[in-house]
Chain A
Amino acid sequence: MPLSNHLKEQRAKLGVNQSEMGRLTGVSRQTISQIERGDYSPSVTLALKLAKVCGVTVEDIFSYEEDEHER
C-alpha cells in the first residue's frame, strides 16, 4: 500500500492507548489498529482529526510513496 504512517509513534508520544486514541478522534479501537497496521487508509476528515489530536500536520503522520510499477 503506498500510504505509510507514523500513527503508532505519534500515539506513543501522546501517551495514549488505541482505545483512548479512538475516543479522542471519534472512532473505534479497531479502526486505529487497522490504520496503524497500514490495512486501512482513513478518509481526509479522519486524517485531519488524527493530526489535530496529535498536534502535528497530516504529513507528519501520513506519507504517500508511489510504487514503481504504479507509475
Chain B
Amino acid sequence: MRDKKDEAPAGRGAQDASAGKRGERRTFIKFLILVLLSAAGGALVGIAGVKLIKTGFTPVIPAQAAGVLRMAAPWANLVLGAGMLAGILLRIRTYRKIRAAWDGEDEDAAERMDEVLTDVLIATAVGQILGYFFFGLGMYALLPVMDRSGEGALAAILGIIFLTAVCIASQKRAVDLVKEVNPEKRGNVYDMRFHKVWIESCDELERLRIYQASYRAYKATQAACLILWILCFTGMLLFDAGLFPIVVVTAVWMTSCIGYLTGCRKKNDKSRW
C-alpha cells in the first residue's frame, strides 16, 4: 500500500508536467504569432518595394553630398585615429591616478580601474572596425576620380595604417596595465596566438565570463544577420544592390552558426568541466 507521503510528490510531478505542457503550448502560440507577424511585415515591405519600383524610383546620392563624401571620407581615419589617441591617453592617465592611490583593498577603486581599461579595449575594437569601414568608404568615394586624386588615396592609406597602429599600441598598453595588477596573466598582443595564451592564463570565473560574453555575441550575430539579410534582400529588390551582399551575409551567418555548433559538440565530446 502506498503511503500518502509518497503520493504527494507524484501528484506534484503530474501537476508540474501539465503546467509544463501548457507553458510549451503558450510559447508555441507566441512563436507562431511572431512568425505570422514577420511574414506579414516581409510581405508589406515587398509589396511597397514593388510599387516604389513601378513609380520609377531610384536612390541617387545628391551630387553635393557625393562631393562632400569624396572630400571627407579619405581623411576620416586620420581624424578618428587622432581623436582616439587623445581619448585613450586621457583614460590611461585617469587609470594611473587611481592606481597610484589604490591600496590593494579598495574594491571601488579596483572596479574603476577595470572599467577604464575596459573602455580602452572597447574603443580600440570599435575604432578598428570603423577604420575598415571608413577605408572602404574613402576608396569607394575616390574610385571615380582615382587618377586625379592622389592625395586623397594617400590620406586613406595613411589613415588606416595610423588608426591600426593606434589601436594595436593602445591594446598593448591596456594589456600591459592589466598584467601589472594581475601578474598571472600571459600573452603578448603582437603574438598571433595571443587570445589562446590569454584565455589559458585566465581563471575559472574569467573564463566563465568570456564564454558568457561569447554566447551573447553569438546570439547578437544571429539576430544581426537576420536583419541584415532582410535589408540586403530589400536592397536587391529596390536598389539593384545585387546578390553579393546576400552572399556575404550568408557567409557570416553560416560561419557563426557552424562555429558555435561544432564548438558545442567538441565540448560535449572531450572537455572536462
Contacts and interface: CB of A to CB of B under 8 A. Distances in A.
A43 B204 contact: yes
Contact of B104 (A19, A26, A40): A19
Interface string A6-43: 00000000000111001100111111011000001011
A31 B205 contact: yes
Given A19-B104, A23-B184, A34 B205 contact: yes
Contact of A28 (B105, B107, B206): B206
Interface string B186-210: 0000000000000000111110000
B204 A30 contact: no
- Chain A interface helix/strand/loop/mixed: helix
A46 interface: yes
B55 interface: no
Nearest to B204: A43
Contact of A27 (B104, B183, B205): B205
A71 to B, nearest CB: 12
Nearest to A31: B205
A36 to B, nearest CB: 9
Contacts of A26: 184, 203
B234 to A, nearest CB: 45
Contacts of B181: 19, 29
**Which one of B107, B110, B203, B204 has the highest number of Cβ atoms from chain A below 10 Å of its Cβ?**
B203
